[in-house]
Structure 1
């Protein structure tokens, strides 16, 4: 069994996540698509104190990224919306691996949040089929009863049809979903065959290892239902075929591919700082971020204000191959300023001048990405929790 130091494990994880080096070749559009193919998904989130998470995650790997590139990828049928561990954009090349979840939801094997009004769903689908793409607001409802987060019945019907695969998101207007019949959203050449359980499980393993370099069983099946036994079997088969191998990091056992281990021979850019989204693929699994990077992270927007330690929307900061700080950021539209309400550094930073210089360059770039002309750090401190 290959044993990796923690520094090697960090390097492997970062290269697999295209951080901080990014995709090297192609124009900005091509780099964005390549990022999707590498990561497997990009999580969507609604919080907008800075640029939304899906745009931020793509920009972190492609500094020339612009939000219009994502819209174009959707329009070109290269990327689609569905569910990963959460709402996400996924590469269209992986479309058929969204089918098992859709089939399970449609059959009732898995439940979504909403109860199904099948008659209303039938009517909503028929209208979209006849009229073309529609938004929830295009359906008038006299009913006052709501479900879930105050959702009106037609919206619930749309979401159920979307989750079970009858509808897809053709585009977004503002942040509002535009639904259309699946057959009209998919490209003509897409494979729509249902993968076998064995094939799907192998995809889950290899897709995860491609994006993260190495991983454990719990990480590979994070927030996924009814796949554990299949993934266990897939790991056994892949290991016996020498497509994956066991490695050890800090006494813990993980799986990796030999191709991923070859990344350790490459040189990591340690001089560049990267400001990451709280929903970035690198650290969305907080236990993994703690184990690999020794970085305990909690997004505090869901924590009562009086109990927050670092701030409402603290963004993790990568530098020197490590997670070394967090910045509670907010765009001040009136002054066109990216405000760093609180910058908190880890005591592990050894070359503070080099870090400060790298962070200043990154904050300038992040301010521009957020359509600000300047940034301002309003408060600084060191994390003394450890």
Structure 2
């Protein structure tokens, strides 16, 4: 095990992690549709989320890495057969080449080992399958509507629950998406013929996860390799594979001053991660999604970047510290704050309700310039024409930021 105690060592790991997430380069995957395809293949998944105070999470993640990305491209990639929708650690867009690794969870749901809905209406599920087979793809809103107001997705009417169950157990796939309205069709009609649909062994699944996580994060904790995956057999297989990698010298353990232990490929260390030339930094500031692959593992984020982040949309309003949907701000190789904002689409206004900047060692003028440039791009991405800034913390930065944003007001 390599123990790192010098602050510069931690800086090296941060840059390696950000470079692995492709957040240090301006266009690591190229541009537009082709760039988005490459980005999803590299990251392994892009998380879906329903919150829409700003552009949806999956579009936001791709926008952060792919110049000229447009939200319609996600559905185009789905239609092209480049990706598919399913569950990773959460609902996600996944590379179509990884389809077979969705099968163990589907099998667990279908066999009743894992419950999606505890009480499934199998008769209704068969009726829905027959209808789709005979009539073609089906949207959830095509099902008979109810006049009773429901509490939310957890209180779906039986037909929608049956449709979702068929999707989760693999009989159906999402063939098309408009916003958050999904269209379902039979798996055999959606899945491209060339895609490997053989059930992977637990060892193959573990190997896939380890390789994916090391590819897109650079360094990971043992816990992070199976983040939010509750399959004890999979966790055991991953742990066994890691132990074998350590014994064979393929993997190395790196311990930072906080005591956190990360796994890293030995080849990366040989190539100078700890003692070679650092990846260069640019002057950009990035506004990230709360569901971005780089920040979603909060414990890892805190130990590696000393950035304590929580999304507060699930926190009661009275207990929120920063706001409903605060977006992490990454400046060079530091997370320097968060921004609670809302895109008012009717008036085409991007309202920054609160901007919180932490006491970090950065050049103030350089940061403000980078922030304004980032807001200008973000405003355009949100299809807004103007920007308003309401609250700034600390307050002594308020006037300088207000003045800098005036051209965008």
**TM-score, with structure 2 as normaliser:** 0.89
1:372 aligns with 2:376: no
Contact kept, 8 Å, 1:12 with 1:263, in 2: the verdict is no
1:333 aligns with 2:345: yes
SS of structure 1 residue aligned to 2:54: coil
Distance 2:272 2:134 in 1: 51
Distance 2:111 2:241 in 1: 25
Equivalent residue for 2:301, pick from 262, 286, 289: 289
Unmatched segments (≥5 aa) in structure 1: none
Distance 1:14 1:130 in 2: 49
Distance 1:124 1:114 in 2: 19
2:252 aligned partner:
245
Name the stretch that deviates more: 133-142 or 259-268: 259-268
1:381 aligned partner:
393
1:350 aligned partner:
362
Contact kept, 8 Å, 2:340 with 2:354, in 1: the verdict is yes
1:255 aligns with 2:273: no
Give 1:143 deviation, angstroms: 11
After superposition, the C-alpha distances for 1:284-314 in whole angstroms (9 at most, x for unaligned) are 1111111111011111111222221111111
Distance 2:182 2:361 in 1: 43
The 3 A distance-change label for structure 1 pair 155 and 11 is same
Contact kept, 8 Å, 1:43 with 1:279, in 2: the verdict is yes
Equivalent residue for 1:96, pick from 76, 100, 104: 100
The 3 A distance-change label for structure 1 pair 74 and 8 is same
1:19 aligned partner:
23
Distance 1:247 1:336 in 2: 48
2:171 aligned partner:
166
Give 1:163 deviation, angstroms: 0.6
Distance 1:351 1:191 in 2: 51
After superposition, the C-alpha distances for 1:162-196 in whole angstroms (9 at most, x for unaligned) are 11111010011232110000011111100001111
Equivalent residue for 1:274, pick from 286, 289, 296: 286
1:211 aligned partner:
216
2:70 aligned partner:
66
1:82 aligns with 2:94: no
Equivalent residue for 1:220, pick from 225, 236, 260: 225
Give 1:320 deviation, angstroms: 2.0
Distance 2:191 2:296 in 1: 29
SS of structure 2 residue aligned to 1:372: coil
2:155 aligned partner:
150
1:42 aligns with 2:46: yes
Give 1:374 deviation, angstroms: 2.3
1:308 aligns with 2:312: no
SS of structure 2 residue aligned to 1:49: coil
SS of structure 2 residue aligned to 1:156: helix
Give 1:12 deviation, angstroms: 1.2
Contact kept, 8 Å, 1:114 with 1:160, in 2: the verdict is no
After superposition, the C-alpha distances for 1:324-352 in whole angstroms (9 at most, x for unaligned) are 01110111234322111111001114311
The 3 A distance-change label for structure 1 pair 311 and 292 is same
Aligned length: 383
1:202 aligned partner:
207
The 3 A distance-change label for structure 1 pair 142 and 351 is closer
Distance 1:332 1:63 in 2: 23
Equivalent residue for 1:110, pick from 109, 114, 128: 114
Distance 1:359 1:137 in 2: 41
Contact kept, 8 Å, 2:12 with 2:278, in 1: the verdict is no
Distance 1:118 1:145 in 2: 25
The 3 A distance-change label for structure 1 pair 84 and 263 is farther
Contact kept, 8 Å, 1:300 with 1:314, in 2: the verdict is yes
